[in-house]
Structure formats: C-alpha cells, structure tokens
Amino acid sequence: MNVSRRWLEGCLRRPLDATEVAARLAMLGVTCDAIEPLHPGLEQVVVGLVESVAPHPNADRLRVCQVFDGTPERRHVVCGAPNVTAGSKYPFARVGVTLPGGVTLERRKIRGELSEGMLCSARELGLGQEHDGILELQTGAAPGTPLLEVLPVDDDRLVLDVTPNRPDLLGHKGIARELAHGYGVPLRLPEIPGAPVTGLGTLRRVETRRAEVAGVTVGTDDPAGCRRFTAVVIKGVKIGPSPAWLSDRLQAAGVRSISNVVDVTNYVMLELNHPMHAYDLAQLHGPAIVARRAQPGERLTTLDGTLRELSPSMTVIADQARAVGVGGVMGAANTEVTAATTDLLIECAWFDPAATRRTRKALALATDASYRFERGVDLWGLPEAQRRAAELILATAGGQVVDAVDVWPEPTAPPRIFLRVARVALVLGESLPVECMERYLVAVGCTVLHKPEDARLAVEVPGWRPDLRAEIDLIEEIARLHGYDNFPTELRPYRVGRLGDSVLDRAVTRVREGLAALGWFEAQSIPLGPEPGPGGVKLLNPLSSEEAWLRQRVLPGLERAVETNWSRQVRDIRLFEIGTVFRGSESGGRPFETLRVAGVLTGARAPAHWSAGAAVDDMDLWDLKACFAAAVALANPAADVQVEAGGWVARLGEDLIGHAERLGLAPPAWAAPVFGFELDLNPEGRAPLRYQALPTTPGAWRDLNLVLTLEVTAAHTARVIRRAAGPLLESVEVVSDFRSEQLGSDRRAVQFRLRLRGADRTVRDEEVDQAVSRVLKAVEKELDARLRTS
C-alpha cells in the first residue's frame, strides 16, 4: 500500500514527518518498506517578484530582470522566457541553490550581463514537462516565501507492508485512524476544494433484492456473493482532466491520473478502501445493473482487453443483455466512462471475500479491487463511500445527483463481542485499568458498553475491522495500542515440559558431530530432483521438471556437489549429508520419511606436506571401507557391515540399510576416483558403553606369514586363527598382503600378527608356541594354508 504523507496530513489536520510516521506505524504493526520523497529539492526555492524587465543589451531574446526575493538586495537575473512580466511572481532560485535536476546556480555573466539566480519553469522544478516559459505563481504570498508554502507539491510516499488481516489499512483513512490515537487528534476526511455541502443525495435503503434508481434497475440476485449493492446516478457531468490536487494525490499513492470521474473512484478506494465503479449510463442495456451468478459458458472482455470465460461459481455485474464486470475483480470495456459520457451510475457494493479470492485465482486476474474485497471491505461503510464519491464528482466534474439507492436484502448489524476484563491480564500478564482498555478499543473504532454485573465489556466492532471476531482479537488490540514495549520483560517462574528430547534428533546431532570430527564437512542440498525411480513421490505443482520429485536417496545431491566442486577446480572433497528421503506408500496416503546419512570422498588422504615433497596418496576403497564402518557405527550402531556383490553393505538383521561403493562419476583428468556411501539413520540398538579392564600383564606377539588360496578371505582365516589359538589370543591383525609369480597366480601371502596375553599372569613362551602350532595345524587342515617359506 502506497501512502501519501500529505493525504494523511489532510486527515489529521497537522504536519507530519514521514520517518516519524513510519516509526509509529511500525510499532502499531505496519512495516514501512520504503519512504520515497516526491518532488524533493524544492526547499530552497522561494517566491520571487519581478519588479522590472529590461531588454538585454547584447541578446535579442534575453531580458534582464530585477527580482525582489525578500532580502534587501535586488537580484539581477538574465531570463530567456518569453512570458516574464514585470509585477508577476515566479519561483526563484538564488545563487547556491541546487535544483531537482542537479544544477547548482552560480553567479555568472550571460553575454556580458551579470545573472544572480534563476526564474524557474515547471520542468526545471521537476513539476512537469512544459518548457514554454517560467511558472507564473498566482499568489498573494510575499516575495521570499518558500515556494512549497505556495505550491504544496512536495510529498513522501510511504510504501507500507499491510498484513492480510487489516483491510482497513488499505485506505488512507484507516492509516490515519491508527495515527490519530498516538497524536491525540481527531480523525476527519480531507477537505475537498470546491465541494458542495448539499445535493449529495441520500441513499434510499431497500430490503429487497432489486430496486429502481433514476429509472435503472439495480440490485443483487446473488446475495451470497454480493450482499449489499449501492448505486448513485449523477447526470450532467463533464468528463475531463482532474484538478492538480487530485492527480497529485493519486500520483503520490502510485496511481496514474486518467480522468476526473475515474480518478474519483480510485481516490475513494485509496481513501476509504471501497473499490467502486463508474458506468456510462447511456451504455447500460435495460437500463439495469445487477449482481448475479455468471451463466455457464458466459464470456466477458475485461478492461484489460482479455476475453475471459466465466463459470457459474462467479459473481458478475450485468445489465439486461450481458455481463459488464466480474464482481469484485474488474469491470468491462463495454460500459467504460469515455470523454462523451454525461450521465453516470456509480456502483459501490460488497463482494464476498472468499468467493472473490476463488474467482480471482480462477481467472488469474489480480486487481486493486480484488485485493481489497478478498481482505474484506466495510459492509457498513458503503454509504460513506458513495457520499464521498458524489462530493468529489460534483466538485471535479459537475453534474447533479439524481437518485441514490442502497439495496441490502438482509441487513445485519456490526458484530458485538464480550470482553471479560479479567481475561486481559490472564493473556497479557499485566493488569490494565478498564478505562484504559476502553480508550484503546474506542481508538480503533469500537463502541464499548459496560456490563458491570459480570465484569464484562460489550464491544461493538467497526465494520472496517473484519479481523475482530473474538475476545482474543480485542485483547490483541489492547496490547497493540498499549504498546508491546510497555509490557514488562521479566522472566517469571515456569514449569518445564513433560516431553524429553526427540531420540532421533539427538542421534542426528551425534552422527553429525562424529562425522565432522572424522574430517568430513556437512553439506545441505535441495531434496528435490528429477524422477528418482519407482516409489518416488511427485509434486503436483513443481517449479520445474528438474525439481518435480522428492528425493529417494541423499547421495545424488552429494554427487552434484562433487561435480560443482570439480567445476571450480576443487579436488579434495569429503562431504556428508543427513536428510530425509521420501517413498510413496503403495496404497497412497502419508509417504514414508526416513532419515539417511550419505557421504562422498575423493582426493588426497591427508593435506600435502613439504616434508614428503607434497606427495600424498589419494583415498581409495580402503578409506571408503573405514569411513563407511565409522558411519555405520555412528548412525546405525546395531547394523553390521558385510561384503556383498563386490562391495560393502550394512544390514540390520535381514534389512539392507546401507551400502558403500565406488561411484560412477567420471572425474576430470586431474581429479581422483570418487567413493560414496549411504545408510539409514537409526539410533535404536545402541549398546551402552562399558569400561573394559585394562591389561596388567605383559603380552607377546607372533607374526604368521600364511600362503592362502585366493578364495580364502582374511576374515575367514582370522576366524580360524581365533578359534584355534584359544583364550590367550587377544587380537589378530593383518600386516601385509603379498603376491608374486613365485607364489603362483592363485595364491597370496598374508601376514597375520597374533597378540597373546594371559589374563592374570605373564604368558610363557611355551604357551605361545603351543598356540601357534594349533593355529598352523588348523589353517592347514581347514584352509589349505601353510607358512610361507620363501
């Protein structure tokens, strides 16, 4: 909503400072996004009286003027305007003044004659395009008077962000009402220059669906969509341009001036938040103008020149023959006011907010009118709007009010709400005197009746506040007018809740911190992408087909991140992400959401260091395996990592809950292979940590270099070793994996290191020897393995 400071000044009858207004409104709940000064830079221009005009000695088309600018010195000014006349007043800029165009005036000689300042044209002042001559001021103001006092064109446009619950703030009167309380001034409408005091007509109220107004049938056949319909007929108007004050005011509010009558309807909308429409009476068939539902297949060319298909759920305004407007949204070109119009029908009606919204969405046609009807205009305020419109039309376009009617088939009274005085303190935490509450409620337009018998206030809510529907809404008004900053800010005792932390969220934190400590960086990606495969969950209204599905796996997002890094010449990448994946349920309904952890790794195993000539190995499958195992231990502690199908998987019982593999991404020549993993995050089954007694006895170790056939795995061999070695065996580690021609292509030599230790005494050499020989026997028998001899 664009608000003119001057318009507000007109309502409050006092000067305002735009910045201060914005600050006050902010504390009342209306944010000001910007303050745009209109016609700035005129503060130093004054009224100058040209006392004499003489020809320029050296130039035919220039004159030398003597200007009185209120100071004792007379100014010599060289002027080229043909219309400069002795005895007239003009805007005068002294030496040193900077004009809106950015020119700073200097004392200088023009063709040999000294010139001290400038008599200005409208264009030079940024007030218009005319450059025919200097701007003659019809004013009694003394020379030296600031121009802005004579020509009040400067203004500030406040761009306000009005919340959808406050339609009243879409009109200047509503904004002024908010301010009036703080300034302690009464709220009035600005005076209209030349407005008649009488002859504005009185709306005849009828409680039927239809009525006649000056021979025109008006009314509503659709009281649900259009509850109240008022019409005023004004004859003998003269369509023409608006007076400057009107077009300036509209322009300040960001609306272009069109013609006096159209400008009046816009003015009333911007002042009172009542969209209205002016019809050319001569163009109405019937003549009639009635709100009704659209017929199936009915079409209408709206004012924007588009032919629109209507549906029976929409309310239209129609004459005898056709629709002439979409109710609450937009009029049609066929009854528009033109230069030839002399007789008008002014319509001001109330359209249902939700229905207007549905129609606006169906037609994809958002207008200033639909914006207001959707939010709710004042059902009880239509007569005031009509009266204001008549006043303005008579003042700017002439004519006479012939008749006026108010069709309201089912009149209702503004809602009444009971406010329990005690409830206010229960919600706000601070006791306020009843008189104080009453004052605040009256300030926003409520009528308050005391009910001392049960400590309640009966509050009649103004029609312009459709958001005030229950007691709590009144409590908010009291808090708002009291000022949120005037409530205390002290911590008072409270009870803690019954709920503990979500187990899953705690687990997420633990996994995240664990992976970060292992040298990984957390990434966050957009969980939308192309079709992920069967079971995918699709968006109904995606932004693009590339983002039309919810992700089923986290890894693809990280693969994209790897490619992004490569495109920026980043080679060493270690990323993980914890996020939700989605899977559609076979029979519809809630999609399954599962938290997953994924990681990618590629590039150097450690940061390069000069001590090794900056040579570092790249990460390989074994880095992946360790990372995966660490991630599984953190994220799904009850799961096991297993070798499966040439890679690693994690299983929780039978369920496959994760996998790790080399990814198919093709690295650029300078980059390294990429590995990745993904698994479910499930904190269940995490074994509690228990202390293991530290050994107190010295241990022993032996290396066994075993020649194994290729089918025999290290894990299997270790199991055999463990079983055969007996209770003294503490651990088995792999030291090396050696292959050579000597061993043959079907064999390898794997060196195992066995660590042995007695629980309560030093292990003896003979015991170690016995254990080793048991192991050798077992591996030979079970695995056809023997000690490597060469």
Partner 1 sequence: MADSDELRGRLAALETELVHIPSLDPRGLEAAEVRLLGRKQGALTEILKLLPGLPPDQRRTVGGEANRLKQVLEAAVVARKAELAQAATAAAARGLDLTMPGRLRHGGGVHPVTTVVEEIVAIFHGLGFARAGGPEAETEWYNFGALNFPPDHPAMDLHDTLYLDIPDRRGPAERRRNRSSGVASDFERRDLSDRREREQGRWLLRTHTSPVQIRVLQQEPPPVRVVIPGWVYRKDTFDASHAPVFAQIEGLAVDEGITFVDLKATLSHFAREFFGARTSVRFRPSFFPFTEPSAEMDVSCGVCGGKGCPACKGTGWMEILGAGMVHPTVLANCGVDPERYTGFAFGMGPGRIALNRYGIPDIRLLYEGDMRFLQQFGLRAPGELA
Interface with partner 1 in residues 353-392 (CB under 8 A): 353-355, 357-358, 374-375
Q: Which is nearer to partner 1, 248 or 680 (CB)?
A: 680
701's CB contacts (< 8 A; 6+ apart) are 753, 754, 755, 756
Q: 763 with 699: CB under 8 angstroms?
A: yes
Scanning the structure block, which residue is given the tokens 């608006």? Answer: 242
Residues 635-664 that bind partner 1 (CB under 8 A): 655, 657
Q: Is 592 in the site for partner 1 (CB under 8 A)?
A: yes
* 29-44: burial string, b at 16+ Cβ within 10 Å, e else: ebebeeeeebbebbee
Site stretch for partner 1 (CB under 8 A), options 63-71, 152-160, 339-347, 558-566? 558-566
Q: Which of 173, 512, 659, 748 binds partner 1 (CB under 8 A)?
A: 512
Q: Is 492 in the site for partner 1 (CB under 8 A)?
A: yes
Angstrom distance (rounded) from CA 378 to CA 169: 12
Q: Which of 516, 666, 710, 735 binds partner 1 (CB under 8 A)?
A: 516
Q: Is 500 in the site for partner 1 (CB under 8 A)?
A: yes
Site stretch for partner 1 (CB under 8 A), options 215-223, 352-360, 664-672, 716-724? 352-360
Site stretch for partner 1 (CB under 8 A), options 387-395, 578-586, 664-672, 734-742? 578-586
Q: Which of 230, 266, 315, 525 binds partner 1 (CB under 8 A)?
A: 525
Binding mask 114-153 for partner 1 (x = CB under 8 A): ----------------------------------------
Q: Which is nearer to partner 1, 162 or 213 (CB)?
A: 162
Q: Which is nearer to partner 1, 123 or 358 (CB)?
A: 358
Site stretch for partner 1 (CB under 8 A), options 379-387, 605-613, 664-672, 696-704? 605-613
Q: What is the DSSP string of 473-502?
A: HHHHHHHHHH-GGGS-------PPPS----
Q: Which is nearer to partner 1, 377 or 725 (CB)?
A: 377
DSSP-derived pairing of the beta strands 521-522 and 573-583:
parallel
Binding mask 16-55 for partner 1 (x = CB under 8 A): ----------xxxx-x------------------------
Q: Is 684 in the site for partner 1 (CB under 8 A)?
A: yes
Binding-site size, partner 1 (CB under 8 A): 118
Site stretch for partner 1 (CB under 8 A), options 256-264, 282-290, 480-488, 709-717? 480-488
Scanning the structure block, which residue is given the tokens 């705690």? Answer: 506
What is the Cα 210 distance to its own chain's centre? Answer: 44
Residues 416-435 that bind partner 1 (CB under 8 A): 425-430
CB atoms within 10 A of CB 206: 18
Q: Is 615 in the site for partner 1 (CB under 8 A)?
A: no
Minimum CB–partner distance for residue 543 and partner 1 (Å)? 6
Q: Is 488 in the site for partner 1 (CB under 8 A)?
A: yes
- Looking at residue 294, the DSSP 8-state letter turns out to be P
- In sign, the C-alpha dihedral spanning 462, 467, 469, 475 is negative
* 600-618: burial string, b at 16+ Cβ within 10 Å, e else: bbbbbeeeeeeeeeeeeee
Residues 204-223 that bind partner 1 (CB under 8 A): none
171's CB contacts (< 8 A; 6+ apart) are 269, 270, 271, 272, 273, 274
Angstrom distance (rounded) from CA 180 to CA 484: 18
Binding mask 535-554 for partner 1 (x = CB under 8 A): --xxxxxxx---x--x----
Helix (H, G, I), strand (E, B) or coil at 270: helix
Angstrom distance (rounded) from CA 679 to CA 305: 58
Q: Is 498 in the site for partner 1 (CB under 8 A)?
A: yes
